[in-house]
Amino acid sequence: MRAVSEEILQANQPDGVPPLPLTGERTLPDVPAENYWFRRHLAVYEWIGARVGGLRVVDMACGEGYGSDLLAATGAASVVGVDANPEAHEHARLRYRRPNLRFERDLVETFAEPCDAVVFLQTIEHVRDPGAVLEHFKAMVGADGVAYVSTPNLLTLAPAGAEKSDNPWHVKEYRAAEFGSLCAAHFGRVELLGLFHARKLRAHAWALRLGWDTVHRRLGLTKPFYDRFTPAIAASDFRLASGDLDRALDFLAVCRP
């Protein structure tokens, strides 16, 4: 996520649920200007949700809680959303309520409930000892479990030639090969996928290559266009695929012991 200079709060929260501010540390639903990033994260949760039916799932660093709620709604036997931030934990606990869902306030390094699947999305770039975290997840899922770990692609997030973006929350950002090697050092089988634009976001990317940026600025359409386009982005405007990972937006490692 990007650093945010002015406080923006979630809109239209249920009664009794305090809105969270958009700080750049985590993405949020119910913030129209943030919708691109929210849907980019949600697309990966939806892909995982289709694969955890009947499983015990721990969603580490769950943030606002929307992903944990999605996993619980798609048929997981149980979901525990874990986050250390007190405001995020309280918000998630109050907003998302299902019989198979609960939230715990704890660190990813210390929460240790046995499970079938760990989900750890867009957070490993925040931690100082990623190897220890991956070993901890491997112990949690046991011999037959799986860990889903995602992170942004340094090559498409940071300026060309830079070793890191300007995101102040990130400790380390990864290229595909080094992220794959990190996961393979701790898990016996690792499948690495990339997240790419699809549908209208792919069409938008082609329009940018053809000079759309120059056109909308010259015609004074920038704000009206993006005020409509950004909130209309859906999770289906992203796709997970193998191949050409250097051009991916994010990586998803499917890790098995």
Q: How confident is the model at residue 146 (pLDDT cuts 50, 70, 90)?
A: very high
Query: What's the rounded Cα separation, in Å, for the pair 55 and 90?
Result: 25
Q: Is the pLDDT of residue 257 over 80?
A: yes
Q: How confident is the model at residue 6 (pLDDT cuts 50, 70, 90)?
A: low
Query: What's the rounded Cα separation, in Å, for the pair 102 and 93?
Result: 7
Q: Do strands 78-83 and 101-105 pair parallel, antiparallel, or not at all (unpaired)?
A: parallel
Residue range 98-109: mean pLDDT, rounded: 98
Q: State percent of the chain over pLDDT 90.
A: 87
Q: How confident is the model at residue 157 (pLDDT cuts 50, 70, 90)?
A: very high
Per-residue pLDDT tens digits for 111-126:
999 999 999 999 999 9
Q: What is the pLDDT of residue 191?
A: 98
| Full strand arrangement of the beta sheet holding 56-60 | 101-105, 78-83, 56-60, 117-121, 146-152, 250-256, 189-197, 238-241
Least confident piece of the model among 65-79, 87-101, 123-137, 218-232: 218-232
Q: What is the pLDDT of residue 133?
A: 98
Q: Is the pLDDT of residue 2 over 60?
A: no
Query: What's the rounded Cα separation, in Å, for the pair 81 and 26?
Result: 14
Q: What is the pLDDT of residue 99?
A: 98
Q: Is the pTM of this model over 0.75?
A: yes
Per-residue pLDDT tens digits for 130-140:
999 999 999 99
Q: What is the pLDDT of residue 34?
A: 95
Q: What is the pLDDT of residue 220?
A: 87
Amino acid identity, residue 54?
Answer: G
| Domain 32-197+241-256 class, CATH top level | alpha beta
Q: Where are the domains of the chain?
A: 32-197+241-256
Q: Is the pLDDT of residue 245 over 60?
A: yes
Which of 25-34, 69-78, 159-168, 223-232 ranks highest by mean pLDDT? Answer: 69-78
More confident residue, 61 or 161: 61
Of 59, 141, 45, 149, give the one whose Cα is nearest residue 104.
Answer: 59
Q: Is the pLDDT of residue 5 over 60?
A: no
Q: Is the pLDDT of residue 208 over 50?
A: yes
Q: What is the pLDDT of residue 218?
A: 83
